[in-house]
Chain A
């Protein structure tokens, strides 16, 4: 993991002092709420329905055991004993007092963490996939460039008041698990014929009110130019992006208005001034950062572990968990484990208690190298577990309520906090997730249905990424009451697609039955072991619509 040096330490500590002063000035009335708003947002502090919410950055989803323990302590001492992992690999605390925020930030700074730019119209947390550095299908390690971009974008004075928020994601595996096509800038890192690191640059993706997948602006960009090229894109966007309407202010609208060719030409013109200048990355800097991500001291293990094999044969529950929650690792004898934060109707997706966080930190040390990842699906990943330890980990995870064998299944619901917390929401998300989870609580049935992503957003801002869920649910407001619109066929990854609306929306209590009908249609039409999304693509929406609306009362 990247370790802070004196510069990094100085920055987060000075930033805490700066924010402490700003909070003081807000409390004394010297700063108006309007003036304070962007300052607090750039420190991750939102005002929600009931209290302040603090969003803490987890750079590219990577945490140490010590950092996770600090998050657990913050949840216990300043919140209601739990935190919420988000779809951008961060963590949110929902019940925060403004007066305490500087102290919380000081605690975070002690463990090399911060909340800088987790909100606001600036470059947000740089994301990559949760299996970076360990995935069996990885091309190159995306983390050094993610860290370099994190540093470059942090308090970059020219780009703190962009037209709108700006999200950058990086991926370097055969399967795109970082969903780069739905980001303002998506960077796909790969190796050229001569072994050099190259980037495919995608621009103008985003969900929200106008969901658009990004388009390629440049291919074969040598890695040394990543900062100057991103700077060129940001300068063009900062100057020309719309500021008259917040719903038309994302870079995707600018790219669409100009057309990708004209936008690319504008970026190219700007970049000609920057390339080969001081922003060009050096080998020294790359090596400095990359040295923080060298592989840990893996043991030389046999590919087949007999004890592991016999546990698999004896315990159906374990076998199932391995099938869904254990992912291939590039080192023989090791695996990556996904701990599900979606045990079912009892708890909101992504919510994790202090005790659970502490348990995960212990497992990371006991079974791995002290590292934890947060996936954008809101689950927790232990990247390096010996196969022979999987059984013990599974037992411990089950005891803590983190052992549900449902990764990638219908009950592994991705949901934003919704109307229970969020002041932007049109409708609640959590009760919808719980209703579906209560209906689909039979693990056998879920495993039979197979891979199926279900995403719920409580409003158009699409924090639950409903557009790219195989089944997407969007909360809408109709004359003051909450309704839910359903989309089908969304997908993330290399075959990313935006879901299509099936028809009129439903009341909350109808949703589980609607999902049941969609699933029944799928199982009727499914060929062999076809995945849900493939069936939808093959047969189209009609059979689903026909079944769902057959006798359904709709408003």
Chain B
């Protein structure tokens, strides 16, 4: 199993995933476990559960499926989720900066890809015109 990239105080750390933590889909989820969300899951209905969720993993069935970005944004900005938010599935270097901007703080890079290499994708471009989960003020309020 591939290692994880985690952001610790905003800086990437490569570490092994905790093998004892169960990450299960919503239908099977029980308090204390990690919650695995598919792109069809409605994040806004999760509010009552969040206090008992260990962490949230959002699945990208394909890196071209962008629903996970909006799910992450909503979890962070609207539901106030402060815990770990992990991108899993088709997670690739060139999308990591967008994922980070949308509030992900851990990344399970696809197993056939080098994690050390993928870390380079986190930086992206330094300019964000609009706003994001981690920078809610658009550039025109920071310019």
Contact = CB atoms under 8 A, between A and B. Distances in A.
Contacts of B94: 22, 35, 39
A35 B92 contact: yes
B70 A158 contact: yes
B129 A152 contact: yes
B17 interface: no
Contacts of A284: 140
Interface stretch (A11-19, A69-77, A302-310): A11-19
A121 interface: yes
B140 A157 contact: no
Contacts of A8: 127
Contact of A15 (B92, B125, B130, B138): B125
Interface string A516-536: 000000000000000000000
Given A151-B139, A238-B67, A239-B70, A157 B98 contact: yes
B65 to A, nearest CB: 6
A7 B141 CA distance: 13
A285 interface: yes
Given A11-B125, A282-B140, A157 B67 contact: no
B130 A152 contact: yes
Interface in A232-270: 235, 238-239, 243
Contact of B128 (A18, A121, A155): A155
Contacts of B129: 7, 11, 151-152, 154-156
A279 B131 CA distance: 8
A160 B63 CA distance: 11
Contacts of B141: 278, 282
Interface in B34-72: 63-67, 69-71
Interface of B is mostly: loop
Contacts of A455: none
A152 B138 contact: yes
A158 B138 contact: no
A46 B9 CA distance: 39
Interface in B63-116: 63-67, 69-71, 73, 78, 92, 94-95, 97-99, 101-102
Given A152-B130, A278-B138, A282-B140, A239 B125 contact: no
Contact of A161 (B66, B130, B139): B66
B126 interface: yes
A153 interface: yes
A44 to B, nearest CB: 16
Contacts of A39: 94
Contacts of B143: 5, 7, 285, 288
Given A152-B129, A157-B102, A38 B66 contact: no
B132 A158 contact: yes
Contact of B70 (A151, A235, A282): A235
A510 B54 CA distance: 69
B126 A14 contact: yes
A159 interface: yes
Contacts of B71: 239
Interface in A9-61: 10-11, 14-15, 18, 22, 30, 35, 38-39
Contacts of A35: 63, 92, 94
Interface residues of B, number: 35
Nearest to A13: B125
Contacts of A288: 140, 143
Nearest to A8: B127
Contacts of B117: 30
B136 interface: yes
Contacts of B97: 157
Contact of B69 (A5, A121, A161): A161
A148 B143 CA distance: 13
Contacts of B92: 35
Given A157-B97, A158-B132, A121 B125 contact: no
Nearest to A153: B130
A278 B137 contact: yes
Given A10-B126, A273-B78, A278 B65 contact: no
Nearest to A151: B129
A427 B65 CA distance: 31
A282 B101 CA distance: 23
A238 B131 contact: no
Contacts of A198: none
A159 B131 contact: no
Interface in A136-166: 148, 151-162
B69 A157 contact: yes
A511 B138 CA distance: 52
Nearest to A18: B125
Contact of B101 (A157, A161, A227): A157
A217 interface: no
B65 A161 contact: yes
Given A39-B94, A157-B98, A162-B66, A285 B128 contact: no
A11 B127 contact: yes
A30 B70 CA distance: 29
7 contacts: A7-B129, A15-B125, A38-B64, A155-B128, A227-B138, A243-B65, A285-B143
Interface of B: 63-67, 69-71, 73, 78, 92, 94-95, 97-99, 101-102, 117, 124-132, 136-141, 143
Given A158-B101, A239-B67, 15 more contacts: A11-B125, A11-B127, A14-B127, A22-B94, A38-B63, A39-B94, A157-B97, A157-B99, A161-B95, A162-B66, A227-B138, A238-B67, A273-B78, A278-B131, A288-B143
